[in-house]
Amino acid sequence: MSFQTINPATGELVREFPLQSDAEVFAALDTADRLYREDWKFRPIAQRARIVARAAEILRDKRDEYVEYLTLEMGKVTRLGYFEVDLVADILDYYAEHGEEFLAERPLPGEPGAKLINEPIGVILAIEPWNFPYYQLARVAASQLVAGNVVLVKHAESVPQCALAFARLFEEAGAPQGAYTNLFCGVDQIAKLVDDFRVRGVTLTGSERAGAAVGERAGRNLKKAVLELGGSDPALILEGAPLEHAVEQVVMGRTYNSGQGCVNIKRVIVVGRERGEQMLAALQDRFAEIKVGDPKEADTQVGPLSSERALEGLLRQIQEARNAGARIVHGGNRVDRPGFFLEPTIITDITEDNPLYHEEAFGPVLSFYVVDTEEEAIRLANATRFGLGSYVFDADVEHAQQVATRIEAGMVYINSCFADSPSLPFGGVKNSGFGRELAELGIGEFLNRKLVKIPQ
């Protein structure tokens, strides 16, 4: 195993990085733990925040360079890469600006002389995926560095240059060695790190399988874990929803980032047979217009999938769905060109015994359902072991909010496919994991909320 840059648009192996030895990995842990205990946690919040703010400034100055790594390593459409870079800079600034407020001590109402103080807990181990190579890192690093924790990061094996570039931000911003450390390590080494007492918290964004393994190991070691494990995010198109707007949002929500997002719209559930036929026809027309191609070209809407493995996995899911009786109404094939490209795909007639009914399709593959009643739509939306994002479309916003309360998900978006902001908490329920990142909730996941009581 090694960390490799393989260009998804061509399939070319560009660069390879060897795994670090156990000695190198644990030397990094030694450095991080020593920095935490002797220096970092004692620095004023404002001082730590200045380093994080400086990292944001450097990132904005180097936007073009950082976007190039995104396109090279995971095939991100270049114009969308700028959105990610800008969002990451905003996240860094957000915690730099609000850290002191979020970490301020707070009196306990009704308890004179009692207060809660917020203290860091130590080394946090982050295991992060490839689909948003900087955003996934920033959700952890920005909050935890300001909080006074130090961070060890194992990034995905397919984005090593993104991982190194993000680590350079903090080095150039003046963070001491050990505050933020990138590791090129393997699964066995991660297990040893989780077992080490000096690692006080673990956070992972990834698959159910990875989350279960890391969560189990963290639990055996009695340490806090935050897990974000993907979703099968439904979009409910209620009877009053304007179809033209819903179609536009579904196309964007399913194909953004080439469909490779934890909260991308995965399933569309339309209430009403006639409206279902109308929306399916409109979606077929819109999917036919989507340009799949070179992620560097300005008019490309869907670039390559991240890897040959990802492409083969989706093709297998499509074939298994077809074999189980589903109907492929658009796409479903590999694009005949170098690289890892898939036609944007719409699948319907998916029955409960179809494997796709229960799975997440992590790419530009849309599952389409039509039901007769709103009750059926809600029941179908919740008929999944996942519970990350969901979407409700209706002209009556008050009614849409009522429906939102019945959806088993960590996040519900009304009449919109996305609302990315540093101040909005991110996380799910059921097998989508637990804990939250971003907003004030994110900085609080790895804190000791210490009670101090003075006799009155």
The DSSP output letter for 42 is G
DSSP string, 280-331: HHHHHHHHHHPPB--TTSTT-SB---S-HHHHHHHHHHHHHHHHTT-EEEE-
**pLDDT at position 1, please?**
74
**Fold match between 3-229+430-453 and 234-414?**
no
Residues in the chain: 456
| Amino acid occupying residue 29 | L
Reduced to 3 states (helix: H, G, I; strand: E, B; else coil), residue 105 is coil
What parts of the chain have a pLDDT lower than 50? none
Whether the CB-CB separation of 201 and 124 falls below 8 Å is answered with yes
**Active-site residue, selected from the candidate residues 162, 185, 262, 417:** 262
Q: Measured between alpha carbons, how far is 399 from 135 in angstroms, rounded to an integer?
A: 33
357: left (phi over 0), alpha (psi -120 to 50) or beta: alpha
What topology is assigned to 3-229+430-453 in CATH? Answer: Aldehyde Dehydrogenase; Chain A, domain 1 (3.40.605)
Domain ranges of the chain: 3-229+430-453, 234-414
**pLDDT at position 230, please?**
87
pTM (2 decimals)? 0.97
On the CB side of 52, CA atoms within 13 Å amount to 32
Whether the CB-CB separation of 426 and 139 falls below 8 Å is answered with yes
**Active-site residue, selected from the candidate residues 73, 84, 128, 228:** 228
Whether the CB-CB separation of 125 and 201 falls below 8 Å is answered with yes
Is 100 tagged catalytic? no
Which CATH architecture fits 234-414? 3-Layer(aba) Sandwich (3.40)
Is 262 tagged catalytic? yes
**pLDDT at position 419, please?**
82
CA angle 111, 113, 119 (to 5 degrees): 100
Contacts of 254 (CB under 8 A, 6+ apart): 264, 265, 266, 344, 364, 366
Question: Of 420, 421, 399, 417, which Cα lies nearest the Cα of 248?
Answer: 417
